[in-house]
Chains A and B, each alone.
Chain A
Amino acid sequence: MSFQPVTSTRRLPGNAKRSDEPIAVGLSDQKHVDALDCSQHLLPLDNLPVYDRNKEELVLGGLMIDYWCRLGDKVVLSGWFAGTYQDKVFETPRSQGIALCSFRRPDVEVAFPSLGNACRGFLAVLNVSETNSIRFCSHDLLLTANKHIEPSDDRLWLDHRNRLGFLLENYSGQAAEIASIGNQLESASDYERRAQGFLEQARGVVGFGGIVAGWIVTLPGVKAALMDTRGNIEWLDRAVRWHRNDIVEAYSAEFGNLTFNAGFLQAWRLPLQHNDVLRLVAFDGNACYILGTTQWKPAPIEPTSFARWAFSFPTPPDRFADRLDNHDGSIIESLLSASIESRVADPPRTIIIGTRVEHPICSVVVPLYGRHDFMANQLLAFSDDKQFGATAELIYVVDDPRMLSEVEQRAWLLYEANRISFIIVSAGENRGFSGATNLGASVAKGRFILLLNSDVIPVEPGWMGKMIAAIDASPAVGIVGARLLYPNGSLQHDGISFVWEHSWSAYLNKHPRSGLEPVTPVTDRPSRQIAVTAACLLLDRSTYDTVGGLDEGFLIGDFEDSDLCLKVRQLGLDVVMVTDVTLIHLERQSFQQIGLEQFREQVARYNAWRHDRRWRAEIRRLLIEFQQTVTDP
């Protein structure tokens, strides 16, 4: 290299040349550009700085690039500009793009006292052409090897430790680069305290996502994000927030009312790995610093347990739907569908008690969970019903492995006592109401399937025949339900309608007039309904198969009956209900979803959210068709 000799012994910062040095434009020795492509018009970086001078040779502006580095598919330039070059920094071709941040360079200010604070250091990120040339500050610059540094070079990180936020934002979506920038982040203690925060839990399921919870307090303008070591970033601007008095007590002296709503929950739907470090970072101007770190821990894989854990965070009820939309709703859904898909396809364990009914007209599928004493009462009722004994195939699905042995033990006694044959089906695991019903239906041989809850007890014979007659009466009928009564004779179910629940932002199933006496008279004409309960629901086997049975994607179980009815309606079939039957439903008298203990309520909210997302428009249409009140906003 043979540049103009340096005439001064005093080195200027960033190798800035003294203002009295001649302009170096065009004086480069092209051989020394090495492998880098170049052309006559290019100004090699080695020849910087360049200056603007006036007629009196006074320096009006200057540009210097101290070093450049290739980071990802872009280049990062570090240098300074002064005076007239201030206006030129953004004059770059659109294709090249540029992001630039500037900062004080006291050393340069000293070198060019006449320019005062018009001397600025800069850090720029641009796209680079294949020829390793860039257009920057009205120059076509050739990136030369002498000025090149590797991203591992400490200089870059030491000079620009306050500009890591700027770099991170400009490498959005480029995980490898973000990872390497992120690894340079330091904890907040070295910085002016403009944010405080802490990560309390980060748990997830590999392949599905996780949930991160903690708290954060920031001054206005500071943005928070989660960042792992592999370059994944999740911004916290849509995190669900809630109020925490402990944070107010600890930090209000410093942050005042900005401490309100410090708690946060944020879903992580990006890849994750257990024990990988997750950071809570604050972006403050161009800077970025770490507020807290934690390691990923495993969350329950089993969907209900995951939900139980996830729902334990006290997110405000009014933001529950929003939370499911933007955070863990999709994670729970994917865990549920994965758990269904992962089931072993072996045929279920089946035991025939008595003799198998040869050509049943109707298969009655009754799932059992938690208790089985209802069987004795149901069988007492069935045994008095000649029609039932002659035409029905009774299938008990033991959806509770805890009591399978006991049920099998008692089964033959129940057969002896009642002379009603039945089939015990078990998957050896708990699948919930939908899963158990679908399992039972899979072994059913009847032309019809009658879904029956174990706590529905007919107190008069002939009810099943009336339900079958209602579906046989018209090809337009897809589903037949039944009026159900509480033990005290009041209505338990007289058809399902939907009401908009403002606090849940969803349509909920409602049993109109539940708990009151029937007003519509008992008649042998089935009545049209929007939907009916699956506690006692008859449909054609082929219809059941066409719609795929009951949806198993609801958590624990809820809404699958209205979902089934709405699915069958989409086939163009109607839903009706018979009233001239007497069946007791031993369900506890309560508005179905409200007032449950917290987890059950949250599960109900989840299911309502899922059901509503799928059916809101259809429900609105049906409410109009049935001349009922449409109440959603």
Chain B
Amino acid sequence: MKILIIAHGHPEFSVGGAELAAFNLFLALKECDGVEEVTFLARSEHPSLSPGVISLRRTGEYLWRQDIGDWFKLQCSFPNTLYTIFREFLREKNPDAVFVHHYANIGVEMLRELRSTLPKAFIALTLHEYMAICLRNGQMVKNGSKRLCYTESLEECSLCFPEYSVQDFWLRKHYIQKHFEAANLFISPSEFLRKRYIAWGIPPEYIVVIENGQPTFEQTSVSDNRPKNRFGFFGQVTEYKGVDILLQAMHLMRPEIRRSMAVEIHGANLEIQGQWLQDLIDKLRMPLIAEGTLRWVGPYEPNELQRRMENVDWVVVPSIWWENSPMVIQEAFCLRKPVICSSIGGMAEKVRSGVDGLHFEARNPVHLADTLTRALIDKDLWQQLVKNIRQPPSYSECAERHLRLVAG
């Protein structure tokens, strides 16, 4: 079987959960039985590439210069090259199965071109967030009020984006769905995201859940009697990741309890956020850093994650949006760290409150303060949660599940 994987980025240029998932799938599929050839085609915006060009990166790996020309309808920038360069590439590779990871940055038109040039191929599209459903960067958080959005509707979307009418949103949805129809199957890394896409219009039988594969780490010892009072945040410091909620929660804790904890922020990109967020974070973090309870560690490289995460006892995921299947949760579970997370969306699904982690009410720093306090006071809790942590699927398990889909 010949397999083509199309991703919206190459992890060597763009480190994101979806890019890594696609690339790791590529690596794992190469090792699978019955797979004759695997090709990885990663969208790129590298300036050395002319629009639409597909260029070899290394054996089996290609970079494809493509962009979004219209984020409203998720239309690609260089549609003419779909019918020339991309079509030729497909004819040459002639895969039996195509796994597309994400449509962001590539555009949805590629799906119909795949279908028409490869009429017999199995085409699966892995969905990574809600961009097709929600124009607001696929976050399903309302513009302005930033309230959580539970369901897409033409009228509500038009309220978020008054410059687009209800009719425009209908055209958007119709356009995207007509292109989605070219796929044989959709893969969702979480049940939560699957349900959102079902509500949006994908028939339930066409969308399955496969969790992203994860590396296997050496099991660290959990037998020491040191208090489990170290908490870590890993990820980008954007307003949707909720670092400010975490810091507020710390301020709300009883000081003597707070002083018994250590919180580490391993996060990047605060400096490119809005000034209001930078100011807010600064105001919140300064006294905590002075007090010694907060350590602002800063950004990390992917290969540093394991070492850094091993140094904490708990991983906190306080996102104020739904998330899909946050990689940080999977990574925490691989390292057998219980997770304290918001009780919504993909986080609530992946972390079972009281089983392998704790939920707090999303966006509620008071409740997070209580939850952190509980984690500190209840001495047996940590051990109990760690016992129940399930190892996420490995890369090869994930690849096998993908192959089984092709077989039908």
Whether chain B is bound by chain A comes out as: yes
Q: Which residue numbers of A lie inside 8 Å of B, CB to CB?
A: 373-374, 376-377, 380-381, 384, 413, 416-417, 419, 455, 457, 459, 487-488, 584, 586-588
B166–A487 contact, CB under 8 A?
yes
- Check B171–A419 contact: CB distance below 8 A: no
B175 on the A face (CB < 8 A): yes
Give chain A residues whose Cβ lies under 8 Å from the Cβ of B80.
Answer: 413
Contact A417 B171 (CB under 8 A): no
A459 to B167, CA, bound (A): 15
* CB pair A455 B178 closer than 8 Å: no
Interface string of B160-187 (1 = CB under 8 A from A): 0000011101110011001101000000
List 19 A–B pairs whose Cβ atoms lie within 8 Å, in order of A's numbering.
A376-B73, A377-B175, A380-B174, A380-B175, A380-B179, A384-B178, A413-B79, A416-B82, A417-B82, A417-B112, A417-B113, A419-B116, A457-B171, A487-B154, A487-B166, A487-B170, A488-B155, A586-B167, A586-B171
Cross-chain contact B178 with A380 (CB below 8 angstroms): yes
Binding site for A on B (CB under 8 A): 73, 79-80, 82-83, 109, 112-113, 116, 154-155, 165-167, 169-171, 174-175, 178-179, 181
Note all chain B residues with C-beta closer than 8 A to A376. 73, 175
Shortest 8 CB-CB contacts between residues of A and residues of B: A487-B170, A586-B167, A380-B178, A416-B83, A413-B79, A377-B174, A377-B171, A487-B154
Query: Smallest CB-CB separation from B181: which chain A residue?
Result: A384
Residues of chain B within 8 A (CB-CB) of A588 are 165, 167
- Contact of A455 with B154 at beta-carbon distance under 8 Å, contacts A413-B83, A416-B83 already known: no
CA distance A380 to B83 in the complex (A): 16
Residues of B within 8 A of A488 (CB): 154-155, 166
- B112 & A586 in contact (Cβ 8 Å cutoff): no
Q: For B113, what are the chain A residues with a Cβ–Cβ distance below 8 Å?
A: 417
List, in ascending order, chain B residues with CB within 8 A of A459's CB. 174
How near does chain B come to A140, taking the closest CB pair, in angstroms?
86
A487 touches B175 (CB 8 A): no
Question: Of B73, B109, B166, B167, which is within 8 A of A417 by CB?
Answer: B109
For A487, the closest partner residue in chain B by CB is B170
Contact (Cβ within 8 A) B167 A457: no
Residues on A with C-beta less than 8 A from B179 are: 380
- Quick one: closest A residue to B70, CB to CB? A373
- Determine whether the beta carbon of B170 is less than 8 Å from that of A584: yes
CB-CB < 8 A to A381: which residues of B? 178
Contact A586 B178 (CB under 8 A): no
Which residue on A lies nearest to B178, using beta carbons?
A380
Cα A456 to Cα B178 with chains together (Å): 16
**In angstroms, how far is the closest chain B Cβ from the Cβ of A441?**
26
Known: A586-B167, A588-B167. A417 touches B174 (CB 8 A): no
Bound-state CA distance A111–B267 (Å) is 121
Q: A374 — which chain B residues lie within 8 A by C-beta?
A: 171
> Across the two chains, which residue of chain A brings its CB closest to B154?
A487
CB-defined contacts of B109 to chain A, threshold 8 Å: 417
Docked Cα-Cα span, A417 to B79, in Å, equals: 9
Complex Cα distance, B80 from A191, in Å, reads 80
Q: How far is the CA of A376 from the CA of B83 in the complex (A)?
A: 16
Q: Which residues of the other chain, A, contact B83 by a CB distance below 8 angstroms?
A: 413, 416-417
Please give the distance in Å from A335's CB to the nearest CB on chain B: 33
Complex: A459 Cα to B173 Cα, angstroms: 12
| Nearest residue, chain A, Cβ from B84 | A416
CB neighbours of B170 from chain A (8 A): 487, 584, 586
* A residues near B165, Cβ cutoff 8 Å: 588
User: From residue B342, how far is it (CB to closest CB) to chain A in Å?
Assistant: 32
Contact of B171 among A373, A413, A416 (CB under 8 A): A373
Q: Tell me the bound Cα distance from A437 to B340 in angstroms.
A: 64
CB distance from B249 to the nearest CB of A (A): 42
> Which residues of A are found within 8 Å of B178, using beta-carbon distances?
377, 380-381, 384
Q: Which residues of B contact A416 (CB under 8 A)?
A: 82-83
User: Would B167 and A487 count as touching, CB distance under 8 A?
Assistant: yes
Alpha-carbon distance between A488 and B154 when the two chains are bound, in angstroms:
8
- Cα A381 to Cα B175 in complex, Å, equals 9
Task: List 9 extra interface pairs beyond A377-B174, A380-B179, A457-B171, CB under 8 A.
Answer: A377-B171, A413-B79, A413-B80, A413-B83, A417-B113, A487-B170, A488-B154, A584-B170, A588-B167
What's the least CB distance linking B107 to chain A, in Å? 11
Among B73, B112, B167, the residue within 8 A (CB) of A455 is B167
Closest B residue, CB atoms, query A455: B167
Nearest-neighbour CB distance to chain A for B155, whole angstroms, equals: 8
In the complex, which residues of chain A have a beta carbon less than 8 angstroms from the beta carbon of B112?
417
Q: How far is the CA of A475 from the CA of B197 in the complex (A)?
A: 48
Nearest neighbor of B169 in chain A, beta-carbon distance: A487
Residues of B close to A413: CB separation below 8 A? 79-80, 83
Residues of B within 8 A of A487 (CB): 154, 166-167, 169-170
For residue A627, give the distance in angstroms from its CB to the closest CB of chain B.
35
- CB-CB nearest in chain B for A414: B79
- A457 CA to B173 CA in the complex, in Å? 13
Q: Which residues of B contact A417 (CB under 8 A)?
A: 79, 82-83, 109, 112-113
**In the complex, how many angstroms separate the beta carbon of B359 from the nearest chain A beta carbon?**
35
Of chain A, the residue at the smallest CB distance from B166 is: A487
CA distance A584 to B155 in the complex (A): 16
Contacts of A586 in B (CB 8 A): 167, 170-171
Cα A586 to Cα B165 with chains together (Å): 10
CB distance from A17 to the nearest CB of B (A): 92
Residues in B with CB closer than 8 Å to A377 are 171, 174-175, 178
Give CA–CA (A487, B167) in the complex, Å.
7
Residue of B113, B154, B167 with highest tally of chain A CB at under 10 A: B167
Residue of chain B at shortest CB distance from A589: B166
B315: min CB distance to chain A, Å: 43
Q: Across the interface, which residues of B come within 8 angstroms of A455, CB to CB? A: 167
**Whole-angstrom CA separation of A377 from B171 in the bound complex:** 7
Distance (whole angstroms) from the CB of B167 to the closest CB of chain A: 4
Q: Closest chain A residue to B175 by CB distance?
A: A377
Q: Report the Cα distance A628→B116, complex, angstroms.
A: 52
Assembled-state Cα–Cα distance A545/B28 (Å):
67
Could you tell me the distance between the alpha carbons of A169 and B112 in the complex, rounded to whole angstroms?
A: 80
- Kindly state the separation between the CA atoms of A607 and B55 in the bound complex, as whole angstroms: 60
Tell me the nearest residue of chain B to A374, going by C-beta. Answer: B171
Cβ–Cβ < 8 Å partners of B116 in chain A: 419
Q: Which residue of A lies closest to B113 (CB)?
A: A417
CA–CA, A618 and B396, complex, Å: 76
Whole-angstrom distance between the Cβ of A380 and the nearest chain B Cβ: 4
Query: Separation in Å of the B183 CB from the closest CB of chain A?
Result: 15
How many Å lie between the Cα of A457 and that of B165 in the bound state?
16
State how many angstroms separate the Cβ of A409 from the closest Cβ of chain B. 10
A373 to B172, CA, bound (A): 10
Nearest to A587 among chain B residues (CB) is B167
Q: How far is the CB of A536 from chain B (nearest CB, A)?
A: 16
A455 CA to B174 CA, complexed, in Å: 12
Closest to A586 in B: B167
Contacts of A587 in B (CB 8 A): 167
Report the Cα distance A586→B169, complex, angstroms.
Answer: 10
How far is A374 from B165 in the complex, measured between Cα atoms in Å?
Answer: 14
Residue contact B79 to A457, C-beta cutoff 8 Å: no
Q: How far is the CB of A545 from chain B (nearest CB, A)?
A: 34
* CB nearest to A376 among chain B residues: B175
Task: Give Cα distance in the complex from A381 to B178, angstroms.
Answer: 8
By beta carbon, the residue of chain A nearest B80 is A413
Query: CB-nearest residue of chain B relative to A380?
Result: B178
Cα separation A423 to B197 with both chains bound (whole Å) = 37
In the assembly, what is the distance between CA of A417 and CA of B178, in Å? 12
- In chain A, what residue has the closest Cβ to B153? A488
Expressed in whole angstroms, the Cα–Cα distance for A588 and B158 within the complex equals 13
Nearest-Cβ distance from residue B105 to partner chain A, whole angstroms = 19
CB distance from B258 to the nearest CB of A (A): 51
Question: When chains A and B are docked, how far (Å) is the Cα of A473 from the Cα of B112?
Answer: 37
CB-nearest residue of chain A relative to B173? A487
CB neighbours of B171 from chain A (8 A): 373-374, 377, 457, 586
Task: Identify the closest chain A residue to B171 (Cβ).
Answer: A377
Closest to B109 in A: A417
* Chain A residues in 8 Å Cβ range of B73: 373, 376
Instruction: Select the residue from B116, B155, B174 with max chain A CB neighbours within 10 A.
Output: B174
Look across to chain A and name the residue whose beta carbon is closest to the beta carbon of B179.
A380
